[in-house]
Every structure is written in C-alpha cells, then in structure tokens.
Amino acid sequence: MKRQRYSAVIVDDEWLIRSELRMLLGNFPNIKVVGEAGSVREAAEVIRRTRPDVVFLDIQMPGGSGFQLFDLVEFDFEVVFVTAYPQYRDEALRYRPRGYLLKPVSVRDLSEVIEGLDKGPGKP
C-alpha cells in the first residue's frame, strides 16, 4: 500500500521539544513539517495559514491549554497530543486523537501513530 503524504504542524512551548520532534518526523518521508508554534495563539495563526493534515499538539503551555486551540480554529485536521502529562488522556479522547504520545517521544510510538494516519480519519 502506497503511503499518503501529510503536512504537519508542531505546537509546543519548548523549542527543544519542537526541534526533537521535527528531527524524529524527518525519519518519515510521508510527513512534511510545514509550521511550528510555541503558543496556542501562534498555533491558530500557523494552522490557518498552512492548513495542515495533522497537528502534533502539546497540552499544557503557558498562556493556554492545547485544548483551547479547538475553539480558535476550524478543526479539520488530525491531532496527535504530545505531552508529559498522562492525566489529560481522558479529556484528550473527546477530540478523537490519532495518538497520545508521552514525552520523551519514542520512534516506535511515533511510527505507530504515523502508520495509523493511513487508516482513515479519526476526528469527529
């Protein structure tokens, strides 16, 4: 089966985490990172501009929760939560995410999420 190509945006307040995730995603030729953001407000602007297929989204950030992003933009993308906090999993499931990755992200877990993208939409 030929893999589809996906455009991605990375949202995390820590630039080192964004850099690491960008590097990890570089191992997947069907993923192209088209933008990054360090806050919810910045993410809304980047998402409106780039219209990504998938957003890798941190949950706990200064100035707003990743969950608040869904009130600021049209939710027409897949979401993969990337967080250090397992306690948000139940709330995250309301958004039908393609993945819930705990930091530090492993290549194996990321690979499973990327493979799952080709199985069809997960968002409501």
Residues of 46-60 as b/e, b for ≥16 C-beta within 10 angstroms? bbeebebbbbbbbbe
* pTM greater than 0.85: yes
Given this model, what pLDDT does residue 1 score? 47
99: helix, strand or coil:
strand
pLDDT tens-place string over residues 42-94? 999 999 999 999 999 999 998 889 999 999 999 999 999 999 999 999 999 99
Find the farthest-apart pair of alpha carbons in the chain and give their distance in angstroms, rounded.
42
Q: Which domains does the chain have, with CATH numbers?
A: 6-117 (3.40.50.2300)
